[in-house]
Amino acid sequence: MSKPLIDRGFACPKYVQNNFKKQLTSPCYFEILLAHTVTIEQKQKHMRTKTLLIAAAALAVSAGISMAQTYSQNVVGYVNVSCPAVTYVLLSNPLDDGTNTTTSLGQALPNKSTIQIWNGTGFTSSQKAGGVWTPDLSIPVGTGFFVSAKTATNITFVGTVVAPSGGSATNVNAFPAGTYELVGAQIPVAGDLNDTTLNLGPTLPNKSTVQVYTGSGFTSSQKAGGVWTPNLTLTVGQGVFVSSKTATNWVQYAPF
């Protein structure tokens, strides 16, 4: 079983600190953008991206969701993220873009940027040089990863929700017993650890742990007697470390 490192009041998987030489800094700001602005802001993107945006807008219309409701319910066709320069932020892939790799998700990041994927004992790193990501890592929906942008950058996740209306995600985040997994919500919703739509906290058994990156370390929450202390809140596109007491599947259902 992976054991957390206790340091100055917070707990984090020991490999997180051991595999980063630079101090990680604050998470980037998440902004949920409205469907009607999609075609204006994405004119410079390639045809596949335009197609996905149209599909996302159609999804919102077919669900009968107003713009205000789209914001409050966190149902999105794309998610915009602002990342500061040369600082690590912890993200997750909230939408299926059809490829889900460092090349597709990191296309807006400048050269000399870095993406790091947790492999269970440390991090696998990919760097961008000459417009090419090497290696081109797979980042499936619901996978968490660290990003360091060379210059301040906006990243836009564009894609489809991996669940039919009212149905469950086509894949689940499977948690082995007692090991740390770096994950995020497979359906783009926000909520706290008691939220039944996000469904992370209710899924995990007692004696499980969730660790949220704060900018200088991790805030740890444990479940005991069915209660999470503290009750942390997760945003759309945020990555978190999870250690489940027993093997568990995190299943989410589309709330629209």
- How many whole angstroms separate alpha carbon 212 and alpha carbon 173? 17
pLDDT at 18 exceeding the cut of 90: no
* Residue ranges per structural domain of the chain: 4-13+163-250, 19-158
List, for residues 88-137, the tens digit of each pLDDT value. Answer: 999 999 999 999 999 999 999 999 999 999 999 999 999 999 999 999 99
Residue 198: pLDDT band by 50, 70, 90 thresholds? very high
State the SS3 of the chain.
CCCEEEECCEEEEHHHHHCCCCCCCCCCEEEECCHHHHHHHCCCCCHHHHHHHHHHHHHHHHCCCCHHHHHHHCCCCEEEEEECECCEEEEECCCECCCCEHHHHCCCCCCCCEEEEECCCCEEEEEEECCEEECCCECCCCEEEEEEECCCEEEEEECECCCCCCCECCCCEEECECCEEEECCCCCCCEECCCCCCCHHHHCCCCCEEEEECCCCEEEEEEECCEEECCCEECCCECEEEEECCCEEECCECCC
Pairing of strands 144-148, 132-134: unpaired
Q: Say if residue 43's pLDDT is above 50.
A: no
* Nearest Cα to Cα of residue 199 among 142, 140, 119, 145: 142
Which has the minimum average pLDDT: 174-178, 187-191, 209-213? 187-191
User: What tokens were used for 184?
Assistant: 């995020």
Residues 134-188: tens digit of each pLDDT? 999 999 999 999 999 999 999 999 998 888 777 787 778 999 999 999 999 999 8
Where residue 14 falls among pLDDT bands split at 50, 70, 90? Answer: low
Residue 32 has pLDDT above 90, yes or no: no
Give CA angle at 235 (229, 238), nearest 5°.
Answer: 95
In the chain, what percentage of residues exceed pLDDT 70? 70
Claim: this prediction has a pTM higher than 0.85: no
What integer pLDDT is reported at residue 163 of this predicted model? 83
Q: Which residues, 6+ apart, have CB-to-CB distance to 75 below 8 Å?
A: 60, 63, 65, 69, 161, 188, 189, 255, 256
Query: Which pLDDT value is given to residue 56?
Result: 45
